[in-house]
Amino acid sequence: MRIIKKFNFIIHRHFNTLLITGVAIITLVAILNHAMWRDEVNGWLIARDSISWQNFLYNINYEGHPILWYLFLLALNNFTHNPLAMQIFHWFIATGSLVIFILYSPFTKQQKLLFSLGYLPLYEYTVISRNYSLGTLAVFLFCTCFNTRYKSYILLSIILAFMANTNAYCLMISMALGLTLLVEYFTQNSLQLTVKSNQKDIIIAWVIFGLGISLAILMLIPPSDSTLQGGASQWFLEFDWNRLNQSLTRVWRSYILVLIPSDNKPLDLQFFAILSLGLLGFVSTLLIKKPIALFFYLIASFQFLAFTYLKFLGSQRHYGHLYIILIASFWIESYYPNSQLIIEKIACLPQKIPKIWVKWLKFVRLNQTNFLMMILFLQLIAGMVAFSRDLLTPYSASRDTANFIKDNNLASGIIVGSEDFTISPISGYLNQKIYYPETQDLGSYVLFNQQRKIVNDYAILLQIDQLINSNKTTKNVLLILNRQLKEGKTDFNIKLIAKFDKAFIYNEKYYLYSINKNNYNE
């Protein structure tokens, strides 16, 4: 009994240290085990193989992201071309974000534990090395430093400028937070707040914020020949009921992570779109006594949903930012005393509405703790499933394929790979360029522009024939495909060397073929 009490005492007293250390260790193991896929490696390759600063900026323009993450990758490449450096760096960022959350957020110990082991912090924004962890770090920094606005806005403006240049979704969150600060400033008398910032401080802060937003938008404007997500011209501007429901269900997909509706089943979408609106309404009621936090939650969420409808439906890593908005809203609301401002406005409405409102408010109050705990538990389940899956099944077969090529001394000759963007992570692990039939040239990173031409198997073999004829020293070609080769050529000897078909990403499974011409066959 004494041992148990002492154990509980140690956990209670050193909870933060134990949680940070435990999560940091298991995520480090996971990230070292993780086989990176194309979206992770392509940015690394741009930083590695851009021939000049101008070329570097040109290449980033095709990525659909602001510049900050790529600057860090460029700096890392000055020390090493091993992509493992990117993973370790990313782990430090994700761990730093977790440290800030655990030490400074207003949540209970149980809630901090569940959040830390949830899908986004444990897996998506830690194990997978992208710019999203930078954005989460910036959001948590902003929430931690939120009280500094009473004296000066400059620190918050620097954080917002940093946040805007991490990714497109955090650009929207940054804009929503900036607008929230503006609304708070002009309503401070009604909210009984006192902001002491002088005019010079406010002007400097808005200049910093404006420059950060402008730089991010400038980098996000794609070149005219970009084909990524339809390029700059492809926006969904007409009304479509099905797409509206698809966009709304991103709230459910972000918060709940189970019973995910299919985008191809209209009835499912309508049902889960209603549930998503219910979630938005429930959270809005929870924040009803904190008008500024409520304003941020609504403006950030609807801004996100509008972009989802108009431009890009996204994947879990994208609409996961709705969950980050939810957490940030609860964090920000902890800074404010209760206000009856909105409730008094509702009381002035026609008689039936306040009666319904009182019942709804009572229901929300009875279930507010259960609601957050339910969300956190579901996030925990999804995090454990994804985390375990990545330990057991390679996310991409790229690393295994590259290791096989190196172990069997196959990297010294001509390597041809198709489809180019699925082959790029192999280029990263091999630290060498590969001939891409889609661009008819040696390459590593892939730019989604009109110069890329999709080719079939026979066209690939014709290009290999030209490579063999033009190369006087090497007559053997290693062909890497992310599918089985279904064509042949009468003057070619084609032999399947190996296949790597165990991977979570369906089109990053690889087939290796040795090709030489009959007249060179020994």
Whose CA is closest to 149, among 173, 175, 172, 182?
182
Tokens at 82, concatenated: 């091993």
Would 376 be classed as within a structural domain?
Answer: no
Task: Please report, for residues 420, 438, 484, the alpha-carbon distance to residue 456 in angstroms, rounded to integers and kept in the order given.
Answer: 12, 10, 12
CA–CA distance, 174 with 299 (Å, rounded to integer): 11
Q: Name the token pair of 487.
A: 């064509």
Rounded to whole angstroms, how far apart are CA atoms 340 and 318? 35
Is residue 269 in a domain?
A: no
**Alpha helix stretches (DSSP H) within 313-456:** 316-319, 321-333, 341-347, 352-392, 398-407, 420-430
Please state, in angstroms and rounded to a whole number, the distance separating the CA atoms of residues 444 and 67: 19
Helices (H) and strands (E) in the chain, counts: 22, 6
Half-sphere exposure of 136 (CA within 13 A, CB side): 33
Number of domains into which the chain is organized: 1
Question: What pLDDT score does 521 carry?
Answer: 45
Phi–psi pair at 269, nearest 5 degrees: -60, -45
Place of tokens 């939650």: 297
Q: Please give the model's pTM, rounded to 2 decimal places.
A: 0.93
Lookup: tokens for 127: 């194990």
Collapsed DSSP state (helix, strand, coil) of residue 467: helix
Residue 423 lies in a domain: yes
Is residue 412, in this structure, part of any structural domain at all? Answer: yes
User: For residues 185 and 193, what is the distance between their CA atoms, to the nearest angstrom?
Assistant: 9
* Residue 435, strand partner residues: 416, 442
- Whether 180 and 303 have beta carbons less than 8 Å apart is answered as no
Place of tokens 């323009």: 61
From first to last of its 522 residues, what are the pLDDT tens digits of the chain? 565 555 555 666 789 999 999 999 999 999 999 999 999 999 999 999 999 999 999 999 999 999 999 999 999 999 999 999 999 999 999 999 999 999 999 999 999 999 999 999 999 999 999 999 999 999 999 999 999 998 899 999 999 999 999 999 999 999 999 999 999 988 887 777 777 778 889 999 999 999 999 999 999 999 988 888 766 678 888 999 999 999 999 999 999 988 888 888 899 999 999 999 999 999 999 999 899 999 999 999 999 999 999 999 999 999 999 999 999 999 999 999 888 777 777 666 665 566 676 676 777 776 777 899 999 999 999 999 999 999 999 999 999 999 999 999 998 889 999 999 999 999 999 999 999 999 999 999 999 999 999 999 999 999 999 998 887 777 789 999 999 999 888 888 999 999 999 999 999 999 999 998 876 444
Token pair belonging to 342? 């909105």
The two three-digit tokens of residue 482, written as one number: 């992310």
Answer yes or no: are the C-beta atoms of 439 and 451 closer than 8 Å.
yes
Alpha carbon distances (Å) from 21 to 106, 132, 134, 177: 20, 22, 20, 31
Cα–Cα distance measured from residue 233 to residue 191, given in angstroms and rounded to the nearest whole number: 43
CB atoms near residue 144 (< 10 Å): 16
Residue numbers of the domain that contains 431? 398-520
State residue 470's pLDDT score: 86
> For residue 489, is it within any domain?
yes
Q: Which run of H or E residues covers position 417?
A: strand 414-418
Q: What pLDDT is stored for residue 354 in this prediction?
A: 61
CB atoms within 10 A of CB 201: 16
* Nearest 10 degrees: Cα torsion 231, 233, 239, 244: 20
Dihedral of alpha carbons 477, 482, 484, 488, sign: negative
